[in-house]
Amino acid sequence: MAVTGSHIMAEEHQLQVLMARQPVYTKSQDVVAFELLFRDADGRFVEGLKDDEATLGVLLGTYSSIARCGSVRSLPCFLKVTDSFLLNNDLPELPRQNFVLELLGHSNITPALVERVKELARQGYRLALADYDPRDPKFAPLLNVVHVLKLDIQLLGLDNIPPLLQQLRPYQLELLADKVETQDEFRRCLEMGFALYMGYFLSKPEAVKGKKITGNKVVLLQILSELQRPNATAQSIEQIALQDPALTYRILRVVNSAAFNLKREISSLSHAITLLGIEQVKRWVLLFLSAADKDKPDELTRNMLTRGRMCELLAEMMGRDEPINHFIVGLLSQLDALLNMEMTDLLDQVPLQQNMKAALLERTGSCGELLRQVELYERGQFDQLSRALDAPYYEVAYRHSLNWAQQVLQAMQAE
């Protein structure tokens, strides 16, 4: 890979905030929006956006964009806002179509706040209410004003939700099931009729006992196995790849994409190995191992790509050995969800070094430690980061990884 961590820090604008994003899904598991996880240097939410055009520009560029069917489009961002922020009328000039303003459950819901929220709705802002508690009457005045209501299914309990949905029906709200952690919870919420979903259910495998890796993934594993052999040659690797010519063609298309910044076109796998080395080919084989099948949403692959690249960049920035291994561990850390296999069963079939397997199973060693850091960052748990680097390094690494994943996914999706 041509672009290293030090190059990225030199080229990218460094923000004084930490930002991550979490997808908002539809019933068909398509991403329709992102919730923005945001902290400025003082640990505050949206206040850090005021008078900071650079942050807003990055937010509207990288953080709201998504690659789909080979093209890039912008999606709305849910932005958490405090009651004091709203009442002080300090809202920066936000493009209304790009943001959903999300009120927090611990807001002090006064008549003045309700009036302010109504005014924002009249101005064309879409509004969401989080942390709704049906037992607390303070929320009632907002139910006729907001457009989206987030229900924390862990807090409310799935069995208590059907009667609650009956009570909410007259308000004609768009209901969002929040903290959906498993595929079974997703199915139950789907049956209840929720329109939108948030949570980590995509990352959880529905393990099928005794399942074996099949299809073109078998060819990829054979190539991966050959890549590990000390006396492997460019020709021996290409011979295996040619069992699946369509797959070979797709790998070369990604290799030649903008994400790899190559100066000349690469025409065959053996050419790629000769020019760039076995380690780089290993990366592309793994990219295709992580590509979603038709029954899995692209968001899972996007997250795997982002996670792998961020692990690698942090390893480079911290001067760790073998950044490529950090990439591999980050990328494969959700392969169990992609293939619906237990990670232990999966690793029995994937040829990897023992320390990398330990990183995936137990989060140990350098690879496991940085994978854990990236997982914390993805979830917006910024206060738990080890801070081995200054805060802007984490944000730049994450932002670059989102862009990189988007370029790779576009190349993988292109016909």
Q: Domain check: are 168 and 232 in the same one?
A: no
Domain count along the chain? 2
Report the run of H or E that residue 19 belongs to, with start and end: strand 17-25
Task: Examine the pLDDT at 160 and tell me if it is beyond 70.
Answer: yes
Rounded Cα–Cα distance for residues 384 and 367 (Å): 18
Q: What is the mean pLDDT of residues 30-55?
A: 73
Q: Using the Cα atoms of residue 311, residue 70, residue 53 and residue 96 in order, give the sign of their dihedral.
A: negative
Provide the residue range defining the domain that includes 374: 216-413
Q: Domain check: are 402 and 376 in the same one?
A: yes
Q: How confident is the model at residue 42 (pLDDT cuts 50, 70, 90)?
A: low
Share of the chain above pLDDT 70, in %: 91
Among 51-55, 77-81, 101-105, 121-125, the least confident range? 51-55
Q: Domain check: are 259 and 352 in the same one?
A: yes
Rounded Cα–Cα distance for residues 295 and 202 (Å): 12
Q: Enter the tokens of residue 172.
A: 């004609």
Q: Domain check: are 125 and 236 in the same one?
A: no
Instruction: Decide if 208 is inside a domain.
Output: no
Instruction: Decide if 24 is inside a domain.
Output: yes
pLDDT in the model for residue 269: 87
Q: Domain check: are 387 and 241 in the same one?
A: yes
Domain boundary among 203, 236, 263: 203
Give the helix ranges, DSSP H, for 22-171.
53-58, 83-87, 111-122, 140-143, 153-156, 161-168
Q: Domain check: are 81 and 169 in the same one?
A: yes
Of residues 132 and 273, the one with the higher pLDDT is 132
Q: Tell me, what CATH number does 345's domain have?
A: 1.10.3210.10
Q: Which amino acid is at 320?
A: R
Question: Helix or strand or coil: residue 186?
Answer: helix
Among 143-147, 166-170, 258-262, 276-280, the least confident range? 258-262
pLDDT in the model for residue 187: 96
Q: What is the mean pLDDT of residues 189-210?
A: 90
Q: Domain check: are 262 and 230 in the same one?
A: yes
Rounded Cα–Cα distance for residues 65 and 51 (Å): 22
Per-residue model confidence as pLDDT tens digits over 254-270:
888 866 777 888 888 88
**Opening angle at CA 279, ends 274 and 285, nearest 5:** 95
Domain boundary among 203, 231, 258: 203
Rounded Cα–Cα distance for residues 156 and 189 (Å): 13
Per-residue model confidence as pLDDT tens digits over 332-390:
999 999 988 999 999 998 888 899 999 999 999 999 999 999 999 999 999 999 989 98
189-192 contacts at long range (C-beta below 8 A, 24 or more positions apart): 189/153, 189/158, 189/161, 190/27, 192/161, 192/162, 192/165
pLDDT in the model for residue 2: 46
Q: Domain check: are 26 and 168 in the same one?
A: yes
Q: Domain check: are 220 and 341 in the same one?
A: yes
Q: How confident is the model at residue 13 (pLDDT cuts 50, 70, 90)?
A: low
Q: Is 301 exposed, middle or buried (0-12, 13-18, 19+ CB in 10 A)?
A: buried
Counted residue by residue, the chain has a size of 415
Q: Domain check: are 78 and 144 in the same one?
A: yes
Which residues, in sequence order, are bridge partners of residue 102? 80, 128
Instruction: Decide if 94 is inside a domain.
Output: yes
Q: Tell me, what CATH number does 196's domain have?
A: 3.20.20.450
pLDDT in the model for residue 257: 80
- The residue behind tokens 């009249």 is 122
What average pLDDT does the structure give for the chain? 88
Q: Which amino acid is at 155?
A: L
pLDDT in the model for residue 1: 45
pLDDT in the model for residue 4: 62
* DSSP letters for 223-236: HHHHHHSTT--HHH
Among 153-167, 185-199, 207-221, 289-303, the least confident range? 207-221
Per-residue model confidence as pLDDT tens digits over 200-244:
999 988 877 777 888 788 888 898 888 888 888 989 999 998 888
pLDDT in the model for residue 264: 82
